[in-house]
Structure 1
Amino acid sequence: MPEYMPSLSVERLCIDVGGGESRRRVVDELSFALYPGRTLGIAGESGSGKSLTSLAIMGLLPKAASVPSGAILFDHRDLLSLPEGERQALRGKRIGMIFQEPMTSLNPLLTVGQQLAETLRRHEALSRSEVRQRCRAVLDAVRMPQVDKRLAQYPHELSGGMRQRVMIAMAMLCQPEVLIADEPTTALDVTIQAQILELMRELQQQFNTSLLLITHDMGVVAEMADQVVVMNQGRMEERGTLQQVFTAPQATYTRKLLAAVPVLGSAPAPAVLGEQPVVLGVKDLSVRFALRHGWFERPRTVHAVEGVSFDLHLGETLGLVGESGCGKSSTGKALMNMLAYQGSVKLLGQELNGLQGTALQRVRRDVQMVFQDPYAALNPRKSVFDLVGEPLLIHDRMAEPERRERVAQLLQQVDLPRDALERYPHQFSGGQRQRICIARALALNPKVIIADESVSALDVSVQAQVLELLERLRAEHRLSYLFISHDMAVVERICHRVAVMYGGRIVEIGPRDKVLHNPQHPYTQRLLAAVPVPKVGHRRDFKKLLKELERPDPIKQAGFVAPPQQFAAVAADHWVALE
């Protein structure tokens, strides 16, 4: 196909949801074209119709959705008018898709090898040995370590980055002409994100694939896209080259979207707290996991967190940053007594290590957690009243009328209406679900809230709203936050101090501006250099970046006990680990 001919074009596409009087238009008169070897980025907030458009192309729209008008042209045929059998023949073979959440897209009952083989057998007549050879080759192509082992594993046994690689391998298995990537790097840290984007870039060059990249991350758009479409509430606000959209946006909404993107170095100075008492004191915290082993192997131990120490003061937000696998979440769970650990954790002087039963329940009033995925953290069978009021029922035995009034007050604090009480999690957007989780964490008036990647999966405008909410609640209730994140711009926006973790240890800790703008440890410097920037012409050299950020596999160090850490003061309250 000549490069000037589109491989796929969408013409005046309309998508409706619901029926009768409740019918509403969610995509309205959308048009664009994909060209071989080029990338089109579709940007916009949640609910703008980005993902529904991709599902329409794949023929995977939910039953509640319909396409009243428009056309999707591929290979001189309108995909919307094709019989389902012909759509299935194209789906996965000539048009592939990388879905946003691999854990919900992969079959938990089948191994990686079985799922890859199933895709191949559907589209090609191959022998068992040829199928296995192709599966191994495609996992090699996506740089999956220990391919034979991964083929025999189930999705839950893989990390988030590995699951995303499996999704890319499955989408590229039959070398499709069009590849749709729906939020392929959402909630991934900068190094895993760099690996995925470099992989997509290489595969596109190798097979001259047309790439449709759907994302709310404007830094990813700036690095990957040739053309950009900006969507808002189902309508196309703007379309143009990357240069045109980023340097001279015409639509008011596009300018607003670009202005909402958090950029490292743009946050105002944090509020001065002055001398405040220590609320949470952590000393020599270590978390170790026993590895599975065979009959004749010695038991081995992985040191996920080793010798971590820090103090969290009243009204302070301490950011905990680092790559996936560095021990951030394990540290947060240990502080909640959700994991066994060694060392000392003191809340207002009371030792938490070893607490059980009623004593542990009493302490949990004062330490609450907001998890990364609000949908997974909320029971879909319970109403908002039951979910937010549950801590009040467990700890305070509060009667229903008083509990209902308290829950209504909590919802008001997180800017949700009172009528949300009787609704269920699936009836809310991602940002609203995270507000429900925050309301539940506030129910018992805690002193410390551990926020584990609490805004990483939210688009930029919703993210800004949740961050403003957290900051307001901190000031009103004198809360202390341990804010776990991989997004440096978000950390700069909300934190007073920052601790950087690497390989299970803190390597640098100090005031926000000193750590983020004058990093002293080599790892902190490399991590900050890897942050994507929403700016035309700023494209990271992924290969160089990944080489610099290479770190040893912790499993290879199983059983290795590192010597105690020593720190050097480089400025007031700014400490760096000695190599």
Structure 2
Amino acid sequence: MNAPIKGSVVKRPLLSVEKLSIEFGQGSESKRVVDDLSFTLNPSETLCIAGESGSGKSLSALAIMGLLPKMARVPEGVILFHDEDLVGLSERRLQHLRGREIGMIFQEPMTSLNPTMRIGDQMLETVRRHKLATGAGAHKHIRDMLEAVKIPRAGDRVRQYPHELSGGLRQRVMIAMAMLCQPQILIADEPTTALDVTIQAQILDLIRELQAEFKTAVLMITHDMGVVAEMADKVVVMNQGVVEETADIRKIFTSPDAEYTRKLLAAVPRLGTAPTRVPQVFGEPVLEVSNLRVRYPMKSQGLFAPAREVMAVEDISFTLHQGETLGIVGESGCGKSTTGRALMNMVDFEGDVRVMGTNIRGLKGAALKKQRQDIQMVFQDPYAALNPRKNIAELVGEPLLIHRRGTAAERERRVAQLLAQVGLPEADAMTRYPHQFSGGQRQRICIARALALNPRIIVADEPVSALDVSVQAQVLDLLEELQKDYELSYLFISHDMAVVERLCHRVAVMYSGRIMEIGSRDQVLRNPRHPYTKRLLAAVPVPALDRKLTPAPLDETEAPNPIKAKGHVPPAVRYEQPEEGHFVAVSV
């Protein structure tokens, strides 16, 4: 190794991880989940650790913070912050470093924030612990940081509880808490995974602004290669605990060395790359929705206070044909998931919903049970949708049992057939339990269960949003194959525009409970007419280096308040038809 030139200044890394390994268990039962991880992080630099679930990227971040689970241990390696090894450091010293020198944004803000404490009180704990300020100065410091992360009405937000904020605002609160001490390193663990594209773009832009203002180094953990392209200076690609490749961002995207990196990039759905769809003639209408409206009553604020309600879905209409996929896209709170639940008769609604010609509004008991044979649902979180106490044979066969289809032996054969159709032909799959499968496999089990009664329609609510890109691609392939085999009709609810482009024939864009634009996939995604549709498309992160996002300011993207006086009648929406089958809202 050449000696440094005399008189030159050697730039020392802020953080240096050298040959780090992490294991679970002891002795012969130990399992190494991170093996020989090494990287350096310099001041003001952004390093992304990319990889799929189970790659060890989040555990590596927890090791840096000294927050590994009790059953985990570090048998080898060092983590140098400046010249101090964080491995084996006393808890008292680690508590001093956490927050003050190294801050962390966790993946799910709702589980990271205390639901019983107001936002201001939670932030005040950090201010007091690190003795940043006292009295009025502490409260001013909190408000200043909330304003720094562009939270509107910061003075009001400190008195609110986490559940009173949107997902985007909760994530901003987490960033503000992590930046209270202006740490030298900010670790962001999947900070945008659960957020919609416009809010995601704002969060990434905010992290960049804070990094420039406070000269903070950022260690970002993500499986989204679009986020990597948007943020990273350097990239570490991990796979099943092993580093596949470490390189600067340009090399990763232009000439990656590792086969796994190439597969990871190839699996990312890219908006605008799907081939143009040839116009198709679909079968008869299987679902007809007319003037659908869903409103939720709110708790009274006082004896003489006027009654209020949440306008979740307001006067929407559409038709779904046999063999067709209609995508419903929009941000959180736009009403798309509520629409899906209304179609399943899981919430009270006004208007007409006709499934195979039968109006399901008001159906109960045996009549509703009979109609459910034609329409089934695949939920966003497969783990929450599966009873952990039942094995797979019981879960997939449950619809057959409820509807009294066949004998026990016939149901068992049907379950085996369904599991084979969704790519789970393992001999022991039927006797295993949900926790023994990966996220992608659990979603396949949910799809098998939805297919058990041979439905005509499947409502898929964000079925791939929680999955890694390669698993996501496999599930989308499966949905396409099943549609061809059985002429299924899908109502596909999602905020991922690239996934919608790949799978859907038509697209409806929802905003504040209403449809802003609806038409064929190419009409809506390649020739958008409504400003909101254009803003959604502009916010999609792209796994390419030649395009950076230009997110709209927060105050431009906050939806109108959906809470109105009971009985409120909003102005009607008028639609224009710029081309055949393409409708755009022009007044609201």
1:460 is the counterpart of 2:469:
yes
Q: Secondary structure at the match of 2:323?
A: coil
**1:562 is matched with which residue?**
570
Deviations 1:363-414 (A, max 9, x none): 2222222122222223333333333333233232766544443333222222
Match of 1:312 among 320, 329, 337: 320
Q: Aligned partners of 1:450 and 1:129: how far apart in 2?
A: 52
How far did residue 557 of structure 1 move?
9.2
User: Contact 1:273/1:316 (CA < 8 Å) preserved in 2?
Assistant: no
Match of 1:330 among 334, 338, 347: 338
User: How big is the alpha-carbon RMSD for the aligned residues of Structure 1 and Structure 2?
Assistant: 2.4
User: Contact 1:103/1:155 (CA < 8 Å) preserved in 2?
Assistant: yes
Where structure 2 has 5 or more consecutive residues not aligned to the other structure, the ranges are 1-8
Q: Aligned partners of 1:236 and 1:578: how far apart in 2?
A: 52
1:360 is the counterpart of 2:368:
yes
User: Contact 1:138/1:169 (CA < 8 Å) preserved in 2?
Assistant: yes
Task: Return the letter of the residue paired with 2:367.
Answer: A
Deviations 1:108-140 (A, max 9, x none): 343433432333333327545554443333333
Match of 2:486 among 477, 489, 493: 477
**2:524 is matched with which residue?**
515
Q: Aligned partners of 1:126 and 1:578: how far apart in 2?
A: 51
TM-score (norm 1): 0.93
Match of 1:247 among 233, 251, 254: 254
User: What percentage of residue pairs aligned between the two structures are identical?
Assistant: 63
User: Contact 1:48/1:233 (CA < 8 Å) preserved in 2?
Assistant: yes
Within a 5 Å distance, the mapping from 1:115-154 to structure 2 comes to: 115-124=122-131, 127=134, 129-154=136-161
Q: Aligned partners of 1:14 and 1:143: how far apart in 2?
A: 39
Q: Secondary structure at the match of 1:192?
A: helix
User: Contact 1:283/1:344 (CA < 8 Å) preserved in 2?
Assistant: yes
**1:19 is matched with which residue?**
26
Change (3 A) 1:399 1:91: farther
Change (3 A) 1:566 1:20: same
User: Contact 1:304/1:327 (CA < 8 Å) preserved in 2?
Assistant: yes
Of 461-470 and 294-303, deviating more is 294-303
User: Contact 1:526/1:548 (CA < 8 Å) preserved in 2?
Assistant: no
How far did residue 458 of structure 1 move?
1.5
**1:113 is matched with which residue?**
120
**2:41 is matched with which residue?**
34
Q: Aligned partners of 1:179 and 1:226: how far apart in 2?
A: 15
Q: Aligned partners of 1:128 and 1:401: how far apart in 2?
A: 72
1:435 is the counterpart of 2:444:
yes
How far did residue 146 of structure 1 move?
4.1
User: Contact 1:302/1:559 (CA < 8 Å) preserved in 2?
Assistant: no
Deviations 1:471-496 (A, max 9, x none): 11111222111001111110011011
How far did residue 242 of structure 1 move?
1.3
Of 396-405 and 227-236, deviating more is 396-405
1:86 is the counterpart of 2:129:
no
Task: Return the letter of the residue paired with 1:466.
Answer: V
Q: Aligned partners of 2:182 and 2:564: how far apart in 1?
A: 35
Task: Return the letter of the residue paired with 2:351.
Answer: G
TM-score (norm 2): 0.92
Q: Secondary structure at the match of 2:419?
A: helix
Q: Aligned partners of 1:277 and 1:339: how far apart in 2?
A: 26
Deviations 1:238-288 (A, max 9, x none): 222211211222222222211211111211344764241000000011112
Match of 2:413 among 379, 387, 405: 405
1:56 is the counterpart of 2:63:
yes
Change (3 A) 1:385 1:92: farther
Match of 1:257 among 250, 257, 264: 264
Of 517-526 and 141-150, deviating more is 141-150
How far did residue 357 of structure 1 move?
2.2
Change (3 A) 1:60 1:448: same
Q: Secondary structure at the match of 1:80?
A: coil
How far did residue 429 of structure 1 move?
2.0
Q: Aligned partners of 1:530 and 1:556: how far apart in 2?
A: 29
Within a 5 Å distance, the mapping from 1:95-494 to structure 2 comes to: 95-124=102-131, 127=134, 129-270=136-277, 273-295=280-302, 296-396=304-404, 400-416=408-424, 417-494=426-503
Of 373-382 and 394-403, deviating more is 394-403
Q: Secondary structure at the match of 2:53?
A: coil
Q: Aligned partners of 1:83 and 1:34: how far apart in 2?
A: 23
Q: Secondary structure at the match of 2:428?
A: helix
Task: Return the letter of the residue paired with 2:471.
Answer: V
Q: Aligned partners of 2:185 and 2:316: how far apart in 1?
A: 47
Task: Return the letter of the residue paired with 1:353.
Answer: R
Q: Aligned partners of 1:406 and 1:254: how far apart in 2?
A: 39
Q: Secondary structure at the match of 1:243?
A: helix
Q: Aligned partners of 1:379 and 1:133: how far apart in 2?
A: 47
User: Contact 1:41/1:228 (CA < 8 Å) preserved in 2?
Assistant: yes
Change (3 A) 1:556 1:129: farther
Deviations 1:294-336 (A, max 9, x none): 2243223332211110000111110111222221111111111
Deviations 1:495-522 (A, max 9, x none): 1111111222112211111211112223
**1:69 is matched with which residue?**
76
User: Contact 2:480/2:503 (CA < 8 Å) preserved in 1?
Assistant: yes
